[in-house]
Amino acid sequence: MMLTPDLQRPPLSRVVAWREVGLAVVVLWSVLGGACFFLGAQSIYDRWGTSLNATLVLDVVFLIGCLAVIGFVFWRQRRQGEGIVELGWGRPVRMPVIVIAVVYGLAWTTMSYMRGGDPLAFPWQRPIMMAIGLVLAFAEEIAVRGLILDRLARCGTSRIIQIVVTAGIMAVYHGVVGHSVWPSYMVSSFVLFGVLSVIYVYGGRSLTPVYIAHAMAHFLGDPALMQGVLYGVGAG
Check if the beta carbon of residue 126 is closer than 8 Å to that of residue 225: no
Of residues 216 and 3, more confidence is placed in 216
Examine residue 153 and state whether it is found in any structural domain, yes or no. Answer: yes
182: helix, coil or strand? coil
The confidence band for 236, taking pLDDT boundaries of 50, 70 and 90, is confident
pLDDT for the residue numbered 4: 40
In a domain, residue 9? The reply is no
Q: What does each C-alpha distance from 179 to 52, 61, 158, 190 come to in angstroms?
A: 21, 16, 35, 20
Q: Which domain range does residue 45 map to? A: 14-235
Comparing C-alpha atoms, which of 107, 113, 104, 232 is closest to residue 175? 232
Helix axes 52-79, 125-140, angle to 10 degrees: 30
User: Whose CA is closest to 188, among 209, 172, 203?
Assistant: 172
Measured CA to CA, the distance from residue 63 to residue 53 in angstroms comes to 15
Is 226 part of a structural domain of the chain? yes
Name every residue whose Cβ is closer than 8 Å to that of residue 164 and which is 6 or more positions away in sequence. 194
User: What is the per-residue pLDDT for 115?
Assistant: 80
Say what the alpha-carbon torsion angle 79, 85, 86, 89 is, to the nearest 10 degrees: 120
- In the chain, the number of structural domains is 1
Residue pair 50/122 in contact (Cβ under 8 Å)? The answer is: no
pLDDT in tens, 6-24: 456 789 999 999 999 999 9
Q: Specify if 95 maps to a domain.
A: yes
- At 34-74, the pLDDT tens digits run 999 999 999 999 999 999 999 999 999 999 999 999 999 99
Asked whether residue 4 is assigned to any structural domain, the reply reads: no
Q: How many CA atoms lie within 13 A of 129 on its CB side?
A: 23
Q: Is 8 part of a structural domain of the chain?
A: no
What does the pLDDT look like over 137-168, one tens digit per residue? 999 999 999 999 999 999 999 999 999 999 99
User: Are β-strands 180-181 and 176-177 bridged in parallel, bridged antiparallel, or unpaired?
Assistant: antiparallel
- Is the pLDDT reported for residue 1 higher than 70? no
In a domain, 72, yes or no: yes
